[in-house]
A and B are shown apart, each in its own frame.
Chain A
Amino acid sequence: MGTLIIVTVALLFLTAILTGGYNQRFLDQVKNSVVWDYITTVDHKKIGILYFISGLVFFVIGGIEALLIRIQLVAPGNDFLIGDAYNQVLTMHGTTMIFLAAMPLIFGLMNVVVPLQIGARDVAFPFLNALGYWLFSFGGILLNLSWFFGGAPDAGWTSYTSLALNEFSPGPGVDYYVLGLQITGIGTLMSAVNFAVTIINMRAPGMTFLRMPMFTWTTLVTSALLLFAMPALTVGLLLLMFDRLFGANFFDHAMGGSHVIWQHLFWIFGHPEVYIVIMPAFGIMSEVISTFSKKRLFGYNSMVFAVALIGFLGFMVWVHHMYTVGLGPVSNSVFAIATMTIAVPTGIKVFNWLFTMWGGELDFKTPMLFAVGFIPTFVMGGMTGVMVALPPADFQYQDTYFVVAHFHYTMVGGTVIGLFAGAYYWWPKMFGRKLDERLGKWHFWPFIIGFHLTFFPQHFLGLFGMPRRVFTYNDVPILQTLNIISTIGVIGMTIGTLAFMYNIIQSFRRKADAPADPWNGRTLEWAIPSPPPAYNFKQLPLIRAYDQFWISKQTGKEIEPSEPLGEIHMPSPTYLPFLMSLAMFISGFGFITRGYEMGALGLILFFIVMFIRSYEHDPGYHIQPDELTGVEKEAKA
């Protein structure tokens, strides 16, 4: 505690010396800086960008971890990374990719796109939105601090007990997992509430549910899934926290606890979670394929129905992760059939995409390349999905590289490739700049070829007796060959990702000159400038059909406004969400290091800021109509 105070005071002194002391000019400088702007922003577009960039950073970190794993597995008996260190890397790879890369990348796109697609000026709760982001961000940082202070979690991303209990994971590693994810999870839950409320309440006049773009639909279903799935994880993590920090016995079988309870709680969250990360990719596919085929989405109603059904069934299948736990043939059969059922709505979606392209005019711009690459990879992931759904066969697949191959086909071949498509598609809308097409091809081809090289052989590795999460394997030629191919494939994925990074950097060197509608789009977000002004729509649009913007372009009539030009009420920026999240971070770090005073201090700080927020009068501010036209003119000039 003392050290903390000394360090803080020293830092303050250092800042004062380096900046010429605490004075008005310095304060003004800070307040006008971009960093301060982003820390205090409540604008959904800026928060979306924050989510997206953080997601990319964690994606790279998780990717480096994957690289380390593949280097270790290049030869049997390799001693590059073994034992506990290997377990830390594999745990952090999974945890980072799911919670800190896939989720924020998705939330980033949702934040930027959904309010624009439904014709809203912001999300329903801008403050909550900012709070959600900062909680996620600080949770992720807390989790990754484990590398430097005490060692990373090492019980797998599923963190099964009793391996995750103090007795078998004595260091602070799993505590970082528990508290880091708990803080991130609170943020995620808030964002889910926010999106659901926004979509239900803030659609532009005339936009009925069955006129909503597909990406908005998948966001709505995803939010509903999060709303019901996250509490299960929260409860599980809370119980695990009590077991680890305060000596409770929820999961200690010797004291009457149960290890199977953790698995149930984890997978009641965990299975919907995989739909949470794939669903928005479905939405992106629908938008991209429809736009670049110049065709209306085939079977829109059945698409909506399929998404809702997948979301519903997603809660009925969690035991298929636990076939080998010994729950008995009745439960295994019931969950097997429930799982197989999901193949039907998923099949409907795939065929609808194919028939959206049928008869269209396919323009293979980079987003479309990724969308087209998505279909066969995801279908393969779905096929192995049906295969692992069969309990007797799964007794062979379970916990082997076959399963590793399966879920990477859905998570990388599905989610990541979908997100890349979305990134190229909406980049102009986010930043006002297009990503380069040639570099886009350098991104796509090495990545997709590398992806198949890496993960296709892993199906066979599993069948030839290689369990997952191992740092070595039997010295037999076939396992050796397949592992080398798998590692070579990673080079392709690395080249692709580097090309993407380079493309991003390049895009910021160019002028921000993207047109409002670079792809001949169909949905509302393309009707406003890129990047959109803070208030999005000068006048909220009146919607009369699905694909309203496309129809307006075809008929040559502008979208009708639903309100007269008037002043626009905007929420004011605030640094409170940042402070609240910082307080949570301090508290979490305190509990991890068993500094209970620090933990309590963080919580007190959190509640003080919460109190301030509750009693603060924040009327926001108004943008006057004459300012609006001025901005428009400026943009045109």
Chain B
Amino acid sequence: MNQRKWRYLLPVVLIALAALSGCSIDQRLNALDPSGSAGEIQLDLINWSIMLMLGVFAIVITIYIYVLIRYRKRKGIERMPEQVHGNTKLEVIWTVIPIIALIVLAFPTVKYTFDLDEKPQGDDVIKVKVIGYQYWWEFQYPDLGITTAQELVIPVNKKVSLELEGKDVLHSFWVPNLGGKTDVVPGRINHMWLDAKKPGEYQGKCAELCGPGHSLMDFKVYAKEQADFDKWVASMKQPPKQAVSEIDKKGEALYKQNCMGCHAGATPQVPGPELNNFALRETIAGMLPNTEANLKKWIKHTEDLKPGTRMPKINYLQEDELDALTHYLMNRKSKTEK
């Protein structure tokens, strides 16, 4: 009677399995297909525990289905079951076997817990300081003297040592493909490490409820080959190139009046994301594709697009002023091109 439930469960399981093997999954956001060592360690333990648990589940369900069918009440037959108190031998078995299984599981757990906590040492370790703000991320490379926002660029096959610091509320730094998360706690400095084994773009998310805009606190991680990474570092180190055209000059002036206060760190109590090399960014506010139309939309409707954002709506600019500002920003990058 009750096993009928499993018939309904089956389609769900099948869909899930199809999803697991299928190509419809966003490969940039998938804990089951890691591209970094930390993610591989975690997947290994996930697999281990799933196997073990499925074994336990199979045993329980076999007994369960057998009991439900074999001992169900049949029409017309009235019998009095024997009143058993228990069975010491059986009870010892189902106490001892789980203990052994858990001990087996405990060894890799403890080992991996310590592995993941190790701080990578050496000259080729890239150090990055991650700061979480409501609702954007800042990445500082202290050894390289670079600061970026929303986009973390790392070289492939090199350990990246992250130092996470909170400023306002709790956030949690998570790049599913590269490794699990670590919380960003104001008043604490946390550590974690990552590496990427192949170049590509990986999606990052904030995983700890941090306010109305929590759902949109996304970021990206770009893993580049060493040569490309070096090029990127070089271009980031240069100041933005001078505005030459009329429209860009007008835009630069508007930028200085309206944006620099927060975005260039002039008022530290209202920090905003770094906008140098804005033209090279792939997203606006970590969520919209970086096009001029989207930029206009963002500037005019900040709070409607990302609830709770601290950037006010800049809706007092004339149409031509907005054109100039966005034109300037879309071309704001250093002299050497990407």
Partner-B contacts on A (CB < 8 A):
82-84, 86-87, 154-156, 160, 162-163, 168, 253-254, 257-260, 293-296, 298-302, 324-326, 328-329, 332-333, 336-337, 340-341, 343-344, 347-348, 350-352, 354-355, 357-364, 369, 372-373, 375-376, 379-380, 383-384, 386-387, 390-396, 398-400, 448-449, 452-453, 456-457, 459-460, 462-465, 467-474, 476-479, 481-482, 485
Determine if B106 and A362 form an interchain contact, defined as CB atoms under 8 angstroms apart.
Answer: no
Within 8 A of A (CB), among B20-64: 20, 22, 24-26, 29-32, 39, 41-43, 45-46, 49-50, 52-53, 56-57, 60-61, 63-64
Please give me the residue from chain A that is nearest to B72 by CB atom: A362
Query: Please, which residues of chain B bring their CB within 8 A of the CB of A369?
Result: 2
**Contact status A359-B205, CB under 8 Å:** no
CB contacts (< 8 Å) of A298 on chain B: these are 84-87
CB neighbours of B71 from chain A (8 A): 293, 357-362
Interchain CB contact under 8 A, B211 and A393? no
B172 touches A398 (CB 8 A): yes
Q: Which of B9-17, B139-147, B291-299, B317-325 contacts A (4 or more CB under 8 A)?
A: B9-17
Interface residues of B (CB under 8 A from A): 1-2, 5, 8-9, 12-13, 15-16, 19-20, 22, 24-26, 29-32, 39, 41-43, 45-46, 49-50, 52-53, 56-57, 60-61, 63-64, 67-68, 71-73, 79-87, 90-91, 94-95, 98-99, 102, 105-106, 109-110, 112-117, 134, 164, 168-170, 172, 174, 176, 179-183, 185-188, 190-191, 203, 205-216, 307-308
Q: Which listed residue, A359, A384, A464, touches B31 by the CB 8 Å rule? A: A464
Residue of A302, A347, A399, A464 touching B207 (CB-CB under 8 A): A399
Q: Which residues of A contact B61 (CB under 8 A)?
A: 376, 379
Nearest-CB distance from A442 to chain B (Å)?
15
Q: Which residues of B contact A399 (CB under 8 A)?
A: 172, 174, 181, 207-208
Q: Name the one of B8, B25, B113, B134 contacting A476, with C-beta atoms under 8 angstroms.
A: B25
Which 7 pairs from chain A and chain B are nearest by CB? A395-B180, A83-B307, A253-B187, A465-B29, A470-B215, A326-B190, A299-B86
Judge whether B31 and A391 touch: CB under 8 Å. Answer: no
B102 touches A296 (CB 8 A): no
A388 to B116, CA, bound (A): 16
**A340 to B185, Cβ gap below 8 A?**
no
Contact, CB under 8 Å: A362 / B113: no
A387 and chain B: residue at smallest CB distance: B49
Query: Given A358-B67, A387-B46 in contact, is the A464-B98 Cβ separation under 8 Å?
Result: no
Q: Once the chains are docked, how many angstroms separate the CA of A289 from the CA of B196? A: 52
Residue from the list A254, A364, A387, A390 in contact with B73, Cβ < 8 A: A364
Chain B minimum-CB-distance residue to A453: B12
Closest Cβ–Cβ distance, residue A485 to chain B (whole Å): 7
Whether B94 contacts A348 by the Cβ 8 Å rule is yes
Contact between A460 and B16, CB atoms less than 8 A apart: yes
A249 to B137, CA, bound (A): 27
Contact across chains for A333 and B172 when beta carbons are under 8 A apart: no
CA distance A259 to B181 in the complex (A): 18
Give the shortest distance, in Å, between B323 (CB) and chain A (any CB): 27
Cβ contact within 8 Å between A464 and B113 = no
- Is the CB–CB distance between B19 and A470 below 8 Å? no
- Indicate if the CB atoms of A83 and B213 lie closer than 8 Å: yes
Chain A residues within 8 Å of B170, by CB: 160, 162-163, 259
- Cβ-neighbour of B60 out of A86, A333, A354, A472 (below 8 A): A354
Q: How distant is A626 from chain B, measured CB to nearest CB, in Å?
A: 40
Chain A residue at smallest Cβ distance from B2:
A372
CB distance from A602 to the nearest CB of B (A): 32
